[in-house]
Structure 1
Amino acid sequence: MATVPIIDMAAYGLDVASDDDVDLDTLRPLAEELYNALRDFGFCHMKNHGIKQSLIDQMHAANRTFFEKPMDYKNTYLRPHDGQLHGWVPFETETISAARSVDNKEGFSYMPSDTIEIWPDVEHFESSVKEVYTKSHKLSLRILDLMSIGLKLDDKHYLRKCHQLISKKGNITLMRNNYYPPIPTDREINPIQARIGEHSDYGSLTLLYQDNVGGLEIQTLDGEYAPVTPIPDTVLINIGDLMQRWTSDQLKATKHRVLIPDDVTRRSKVRQSTAFFILPDEEVMIECLDNSNKYEPVSSKDYLTMMLKPTY
């Protein structure tokens, strides 16, 4: 079992009305604790972040209602293949790991900057997704402030400023609701299939809201995978590839996965999660902050385009 640190965000969570209400002396120890946790694990749980569990539960309940509807209904809300990301992603149409077959899941993506939004007529679906996105956006900016302080950058808002277009044109920060359906007992399991294969996320950071079913595993320093037990009322945070490049490997994007359970009882359970993928503005150049030039500069847009090509 991976003992992922728990960070108490109370001093800078969303229950604090204004960012300016908290001075640097208060933020610095919290920033150092967050930086150390992400340096050592690539992941951490965050409590007292200010997003109510009841809202997450309401969103997951509405999502489940949608995902359990017939294929013909869901096809109405299919993600278009014209560069836009908003919409339904059908079951077994993505391959996140080249070493595995298609992922055993489906999803629904939301990105406010897309010009077309089509929403299922499921109670609380649209409203809860939009509210979680808005709150995650606000929380992510505060986490980026803490990251800037933890990295000892001169401007505590440096990373925030690199993400100022979240939810607008010019930034493709995306929220994805994932649904892992029950696996019938008579289905033959492909040995190289996973619910989602081994991968690191592509952006700066990811906020992950899990249900209580579990299944997420992260790669430890010795290269083995260990399960991460969900903790109620927390959000799980992890580093993405672009943050690793920015920090010249001070912070590393930890690989993670969700396997198909060996246990038949666990296979029969629905699993749900919501990932808020935080990306820098498209034109931001990701250059090593320590001037080491360990990685070649790349724009946020170009890196994401390169990484997404093999997925579909």
Structure 2
Amino acid sequence: MKVCHMIGVDLPDGDLKESFNYTSATEDNDWPTESACPGFKTTNKDFFELCVPLHNRVLEVMAHGLNIEDPLFFVKRHAQPSRACLRSLFYPSLDDVTVKDQQVRCSEHSDYGGITMLFHQVPGLERHRVFLDGTPAERSQSRQSIVFFGNPNEEAVIDCTDNSNKYPPITCRDYLDQKYSATHQ
């Protein structure tokens, strides 16, 4: 199972969370076994497939709002195989955890892709970070959220839609690889 303990850029201690990332390129051996986690693989794959059309609709609305001639301009650049990712996040109970000074559930960050859809039962994300819960009752509860990161096809060229050339064109693969490298140095 891919479990990621993300490290905050300015924080000496890891975030208080676990995560599992699913993409269309996730290999079968990356999943927990069905006996250990019944329905996990099917549920993640099914939810990913439900997110794609919603994500594409948001992209269409964006194109319309930006007065782009082709309403599918962004959707076409997000065609499979894309770098879209479904991340399941688990924030465990803090009952048996020694929280270090300035430690948070999810450190300050920005998302790299075009569209991020957050699904959660309990609010928590504030200004691109998740703070520790306030009351003792809230801190004793575990929490879960799911995030769909909509990223373009790896070969899609990201450039200025207004033809300003303010930023040099770059492929999605190169852009994301640069961002991941800078984050996880």
Alpha-carbon shift at residue 131 of structure 1 (Å) = 1.1
1:155-191 CA distances to partner (integer Å, 9 max, x unpaired)? 00100010111xx3xx221101000000126x43212
Alpha-carbon shift at residue 264 of structure 1 (Å) = 2.0
Matches within 5 A, 1:246-285: 256-285=128-157
Residue in structure 1 matched with residue 85 of structure 2 by the alignment:
174
Q: How many Å separate the matches in 1 of 2:83 and 2:24?
A: 9
Residue in structure 1 matched with residue 6 of structure 2 by the alignment:
94
Instruction: Work out whether residues 99 and 192 of structure 1, in 8 Å CA contact, stay in contact via their aligned partners in 2.
Output: no
Matches within 5 A, 1:1-312: 77=1, 88-90=2-4, 93-95=5-7, 97-100=8-11, 101-117=13-29, 118-121=31-34, 122-165=37-80, 168=81, 171-184=82-95, 187-211=97-121, 213-218=122-127, 256-309=128-181, 310-311=183-184
Alpha-carbon shift at residue 291 of structure 1 (Å) = 1.8
TM-score normalised by length of structure 1: 0.54
Q: State the percentage of identical aligned residues.
A: 33
Q: How many Å separate the matches in 2 of 1:123 and 1:291?
A: 50
1:199-250 CA distances to partner (integer Å, 9 max, x unpaired)? 1100010111112x221213xxxxxxxxxxxxxxxxxxxxxxxxxxxxxxxx
Q: Which amino acid aligns with 1:89?
A: V
RMSD: 1.8
Q: Which amino acid aligns with 2:26?
A: D
Q: How many Å separate the matches in 2 of 1:114 and 1:123?
A: 18
Secondary structure of 1:129's counterpart equals: helix
Alpha-carbon shift at residue 126 of structure 1 (Å) = 1.9
Q: How many Å separate the matches in 2 of 1:110 and 1:120?
A: 15
Secondary structure of 1:94's counterpart equals: coil
Q: How many Å separate the matches in 1 of 2:33 and 2:136?
A: 32
Alpha-carbon shift at residue 104 of structure 1 (Å) = 0.9
Q: Which amino acid aligns with 2:175?
A: Y
Secondary structure of 2:163's counterpart equals: coil
Alpha-carbon shift at residue 108 of structure 1 (Å) = 1.4
Secondary structure of 2:112's counterpart equals: coil
Q: Which amino acid aligns with 1:102?
A: G
Q: How many Å separate the matches in 1 of 2:39 and 2:60?
A: 31
Q: How many Å separate the matches in 1 of 2:77 and 2:3?
A: 29
Secondary structure of 2:33's counterpart equals: coil
Q: Which amino acid aligns with 1:216?
A: L
Listed as ranges, the gaps of 5+ residues in structure 1 are: 1-76, 78-87, 219-255
Listed as ranges, the gaps of 5+ residues in structure 2 are: none
Secondary structure of 2:144's counterpart equals: strand
